[in-house]
Chains A and B, each alone.
Chain A
Amino acid sequence: MQSVARIIAQRLGLGLVTLFFVSVIIFAAVNMLPGDFAQAILGQGATPEAVEAIRRDLGLDKPPITRYFDWLGGVLQGDFGTSFAAANFRSFTGAETGSGLGSVAAQVAPRFENTLFLAGVTAAIAVPFSLILGVLAALFRNSIFDRAANIGTLTSISSPEFFLAYILILFLAVLNPMLPSLSNIYADMSFGERLERTLLPALTLTLVVTAHMMRMTRAAIINLLASPYIEMARLKGISPLRVIVKHALPNALAPIINVIALNLAYLITGVVVVEVVFVYPGIGQLFVDSVKIRDIPVVQACCLIFAAAYILLNLLADILSILSNPRLRHPK
């Protein structure tokens, strides 16, 4: 067990180092903007005094390295800085808005929660669904069912997310008004109502991620079917379903867990487009809106959060596959 703890600590350290470099890259990229933040906030017609005031406000007169560590220090304490829209407002009124809406953290937090809810609902539908489909495809391999599932998943994996989203809207919201096509969610909504509005985006994301997970489940199980112990189980006269579920599946779990974690990481990116289609108030929607109005602090913060979640899930996949396969613990 000692070695497992050491490996996990090692991976965690590596993840932290990666995250550090990612934050450096994001910061460096943002600093490649022509002019600086102050000009970007106020636009062309700003007076020099106003630009100077904002520059002092945001600490832009300091050298980049100091600013980077200030930013990083703030991020570590949950302070992502001030949104441009708010800074702009303040520079005109000359007073604190007082509502606390100006800080990026206050903008991001509720939306992050919404996105996690969407991802959670999607995972709750997609993971069991794709596992069952994968097991069935492995059980009836090379049958018509298998081929139809193969073509269906290949089609859904290669369609753009918005195509699937609009098809679902067309059939489930416009032609048969069962679910709302706009997912406007408020803080004080009941769980059931929230779930109903989240269902359509969640179904879209399910279609996107199920294909990959199902194909991997099928491939992982079929890979094992040639092993002698499966042959033995078959010769004992166990039913094919039992052979797969009791004998093949536990040994195929490592690649399956890996691909599930990777797909959850993929969800993080897929969420952006789907949230825009359904006007779902999540972090992806905020990100795209901020990209359009060039609200750099928000873009920076969202990017960092997405990258952190992505790295974390990849790390999780790595650790889980090490835990489930003892051979990986002793690298040659």
Chain B
Amino acid sequence: MSVWLHIALWAAILFGGAWVFRWAGQQLPNPRTRPYFRDMSYAVAFGFLLAAAALYWTVQLYFVDRVVFFRWAVQGFLFFAAAGWAFRLLGRHVGTPGTRKLFRKMPLTAAFGILVILVYAVVAIFADVLAPFGQEQVFERVNVLPGGNPETGGDPRFLLGTDQIGRDLLSRLIYGAQNTVGIAFVTTCLAFLLGASLGFLAATLGGWLDQLLSRGVDVLMAIPSLIFALLLMTIASAWAGSEKWLLTVYMIVIIAVLDSTRVFRLSRAVGANIVVMDYIEAAKLRGETLTYLIFREILPNAYAPLLAEFGLRFCFVFLTIAALSFLGVGIQPPLADWGTMVRDLSQFINFAGVSPLTAALPLMAAGAIALLTVAVNFVVDWMLYQSSGLKD
């Protein structure tokens, strides 16, 4: 009951406080603020109070030891914001005039996104150098707790501890960048190769080929893609048998084909708008080949929407692969990957009250996935905003 009393008390404070706040503002002698408070609606006053209360709760929660996760989240948020800001500052002063101008108009979210993507790329490419151990290396000490402190069950050699069969978790987290991001990137490229070339082909040739491809894509898109991927993975796992790496290859192909349907739709729509242009007509009359038409005339003009779509598609592919791995049918062990890590470590979350760092392990892997998709989304958002000239 005390919870309800608590909520009621806070509601009373907020609703009453908003009215008092506006009234107090109206009593201020400063003639410049007067009209502002006089015209302020109750909702805006309430919003101010709510924001103040949210700030108060945040600060209060920050110092509660039991929910140390919240402190880490706030610190992480502040750190990333500062890093994004510093990165933008760097970009404004270093580089060619073109990039400097780009950085000058860039919002903080986009700078943050670009920075995160760069960091992921570096970690993925140099995983062999960065990781202290190999991803398949098994040690004799299993279930070492994270923290590296021997008194609390840690081991200074394994900063994040080891898993249930004794593999170093930090190394696996780093290799996860290589495997998960790398496989998602390859899959997206494959999907684009397939979808864009078929889409442009359908747009240029038209006729029965266009009809056939479009109707086929319609039917494929009528099945939810995660469900269809799971069905096909069942069959692929029967085909692959005990060859685990083969299953990963099948997964890349399956997801690439399923996602190429969306790319096909977009590139066909974009291509159809370009094909009716006069310069295409002129190129056709010049007697140019189909390859020339598609790669030299259509592709450069469809570049901007396709690039934005590439970012979004990458996010979807990345999340689909993570979900499949989480469900146990995606990237197969011994390859380290974040989705599988979340599933394997998920039970640790119950130790949140005793050992917060242990409980944070599954969240680190899941958060690594989330961070990259958020970053890509921020960048795509900014690119779309720039190319459309949208200003509300």
Which A residues form the contact surface with B (CB < 8 A)?
A: 18-19, 21-22, 25-26, 29-30, 32-34, 40, 139-142, 144-145, 151, 154-155, 157-163, 166-167, 169-171, 174-175, 222, 239-241, 265, 268-269, 272-273, 276-277, 287-288, 291-292, 294, 296, 299-300, 302-303, 306-307, 310-311, 314
Determine which of B67, B219, B233, B234 lies in contact with A25 in the assembled complex, contact meaning CB atoms within 8 Å.
B219
Q: Is the CB of B226 within 8 A of A272?
A: yes
A241 CA to B47 CA, complexed, in Å: 14
A84 CA to B114 CA, complexed, in Å: 50
Given A166-B362, A269-B225, are A145 and B352 neighbors across the interface (CB < 8 Å)?
A: no
Min Cβ gap B58→A in Å is 13
Determine which of B219, B349, B377 lies in contact with A22 in the assembled complex, contact meaning CB atoms within 8 Å.
B219
The closest CB in chain B to the CB of A268 belongs to B224
Q: Considering only CB atoms and an 8 Å cut-off, how many residues of chain B contact the other chain?
A: 57
Min Cβ gap B314→A in Å is 11
Q: Is the CB of A40 within 8 A of B224?
A: no
Task: Tell me which residues from 220 to 258 in chain B have a Cβ below 8 Å from any Cβ of chain A.
Answer: 220, 222-228, 230-235, 237-239
Which B residues form the contact surface with A (CB < 8 A)?
A: 41, 43-44, 47, 51, 66-67, 69, 109, 218-220, 222-228, 230-235, 237-239, 315, 319, 322-323, 326-329, 339, 342, 346, 349-350, 352-353, 359, 362-363, 366-367, 369-370, 373-374, 376-378, 381, 392
Q: Is the CB of B234 within 8 A of A296?
A: yes
A229 CA to B255 CA, complexed, in Å: 47
Which of A18, A167, A276, A291 is the most central at the interface, judged by chain B CB atoms within 10 Å of its CB? A291
Q: Is the CB of A299 within 8 A of B353?
A: no
Determine which of A19, A166, A294, A314 lies in contact with B238 in the assembled complex, contact meaning CB atoms within 8 Å.
A294
Given A34-B238, A158-B377, A174-B349, are A29 and B231 neighbors across the interface (CB < 8 Å)?
A: yes
Q: Is the CB of A292 within 8 A of B329?
A: yes
Can you report 14 residue pairs joining A to B where beta carbons are below 8 Å apart?
Answer: A26-B231, A30-B235, A140-B47, A155-B374, A158-B374, A163-B366, A166-B362, A174-B359, A272-B227, A288-B328, A291-B234, A294-B234, A303-B228, A310-B222
Q: Is the CB of A175 within 8 A of B366?
A: no
A293 CA to B385 CA, complexed, in Å: 47
The closest CB in chain A to the CB of B233 belongs to A291
Determine which of B226, B231, B346 lies in contact with A269 in the assembled complex, contact meaning CB atoms within 8 Å.
B226
A277 CA to B343 CA, complexed, in Å: 9
* Secondary structure dominating the interface of B: helix
Q: Is the CB of B366 within 8 A of A162?
A: yes
Q: Is the CB of B359 within 8 A of A170?
A: yes
Q: Is the CB of A269 within 8 A of B227?
A: yes
Complex interface: chain A residues within 8 A of B370 (CB): 155, 158-160, 163
Q: Is the CB of A222 within 8 A of B392?
A: yes
Give the 5 A-B residue pairs with the shortest CB-CB distance, closest first. A163-B366, A158-B373, A159-B370, A269-B224, A174-B352
Determine which of A18, A33, A240, A307 lies in contact with B227 in the assembled complex, contact meaning CB atoms within 8 Å.
A307
Q: Is the CB of B67 within 8 A of A175?
A: yes
Min Cβ gap B241→A in Å is 9
Min Cβ gap A175→B in Å is 6
Determine which of A22, A166, A302 lies in contact with B346 in the assembled complex, contact meaning CB atoms within 8 Å.
A166
Min Cβ gap B184→A in Å is 12
The closest CB in chain A to the CB of B64 belongs to A175
Complex interface: chain B residues within 8 A of A33 (CB): 235, 238-239
A155 CA to B233 CA, complexed, in Å: 29
Complex interface: chain B residues within 8 A of A144 (CB): 51
Q: Is the CB of B223 within 8 A of A25?
A: yes
Q: Is the CB of A303 within 8 A of B366?
A: no
Q: Is the CB of A239 within 8 A of B346?
A: no
Min Cβ gap A127→B in Å is 20
A139 CA to B346 CA, complexed, in Å: 41
Given A288-B230, A291-B233, are A303 and B353 neighbors across the interface (CB < 8 Å)?
A: no
Q: Is the CB of B234 within 8 A of A307?
A: no
Given contacts A18-B222, A140-B47, 16 further A-B contacts (CB under 8 A): A18-B219, A30-B231, A142-B392, A145-B51, A151-B109, A154-B377, A154-B381, A159-B370, A170-B363, A174-B349, A174-B350, A276-B327, A277-B346, A288-B328, A299-B234, A310-B222
Q: Is the CB of B328 within 8 A of A154?
A: no
Which of A160, A161, A240, A291 is the most central at the interface, judged by chain B CB atoms within 10 Å of its CB? A160
The closest CB in chain B to the CB of A265 belongs to B224
A26 CA to B319 CA, complexed, in Å: 24
Min Cβ gap B326→A in Å is 5
Which of B238, B328, B359 is the most central at the interface, judged by chain A CB atoms within 10 Å of its CB? B238
